[in-house]
Amino acid sequence: MTAQIIDGKAIAQKVREEVAAAVAQRIAAGKQPPGLATVLVGDRVDSATYVASKQKACQELGMISFHHHLPANVSQEELEALVRDLNADRRVHGILVQLPLPAHLNEERVLSLINIEKDVDGFSPLNIGRLAQKGREPLFVPCTPYGCVYLLEQAGVPIEGAHAVVLGRSNIVGMPAALLLIGKNATVTICHSHTRNLPEIVRQADILIAAIGKAEFVRGDWIKPGAAVIDVGINSKPDPTKKIGYRLVGDVNFEEAKEVAGFITPVPGGVGPMTIAMLMKNTLRAAEIQDV
């Protein structure tokens, strides 16, 4: 059996086109373009690259981006003052503080300060709390988990009643992905670095979300035949045949897994493009919420 490849690039492009059309309609109706403020602290190259991609997506979709780059040694008070200013700025509908922050900063306090209506990353305690509670709806769902579930839905993978195994319990991906899947009536097992008999548990998964950041960690013989495999990992692997000396691989051994799975996302071109597409969708929603 060869898995159906879930084309995240194409699905993300369609989301972006829908968002761009809605933005154009807003502007034609005399409303403000959605505005996204990005806050980057320090000089991590990966974070700078992600934030640049988010700014570029805003421009491409007719939104406005406001970028703030603070030095790595910025104080908690200065960062909090910026968030308060952005909360008060009516041109800014969404606020994204790129994570991780330098170790001296209190991430929880910063995220708690973001006005819930502008929390397009869905990381504020109020949004996450609502995601975790039955019968409550968060205003925004964190972008990468939202993208994972959107891919499953677009591929026609049934979630209700399925056994979903989530590898990783990070605040950004694993934990919110598990909460989102529970909310959609999956039975969810969360695995992490202390989990025993990992391959055995993964073999029970109708849906596998791999978000542990270990190159090609999940082997083909861990996959239940016909399962849907969503690979969130983006790892570089040395590859002397490439000019740059490496290539990107996921947390799943793609070549092995695609022979067993029913559906699988590639790396690159799977979950990656979805994170930004869902951020754009959330930012549009933030502008719509703040219209009234």
List interacting residues with ligand GUN (CB under 6 A): 96-99, 121, 143-144, 172, 275
Beta carbons of 85 and 66 less than 8 angstroms apart? no
Token reading at 182: 């529970």
Burial, 286: exposed, middle or buried (Cβ in 10 Å; 0-12, 13-18, 19+)?
Answer: buried
Residue 177 CB, nearest approach to ligand GUN (Å): 12
**Selected catalytic residue, list 98, 118, 206, 251:** 98
Residue 143 CB, nearest approach to ligand GUN (Å): 5
Residue nearest to ligand GUN as judged by C-beta position: 99
DSSP string covering 13-57, please?
HHHHHHHHHHHHHHHHTTPPPPEEEEEEES--HHHHHHHHHHHHH
Q: How far apart are CA 96 and CA 16, in angstroms?
A: 18
Say whether 121 is catalytic.
Answer: yes
**Selected catalytic residue, list 7, 55, 118, 121:** 121
Say whether 54 is catalytic.
Answer: yes
**Measured from the CB atom, is 100 or 269 closer to ligand GUN?**
100
Say whether 56 is catalytic.
Answer: no
Q: How far apart are CA 255 and CA 218, in angstroms?
A: 11
CA distances (Å), origin 200, targets 5, 44, 225, 227: 24, 37, 14, 14
**Measured from the CB atom, is 143 or 277 closer to ligand GUN?**
143
Token reading at 163: 């056994």
**Measured from the CB atom, is 99 or 198 closer to ligand GUN?**
99
**Measured from the CB atom, is 253 or 275 closer to ligand GUN?**
275
Residue 204 CB, nearest approach to ligand GUN (Å): 28
Residue 282 CB, nearest approach to ligand GUN (Å): 10
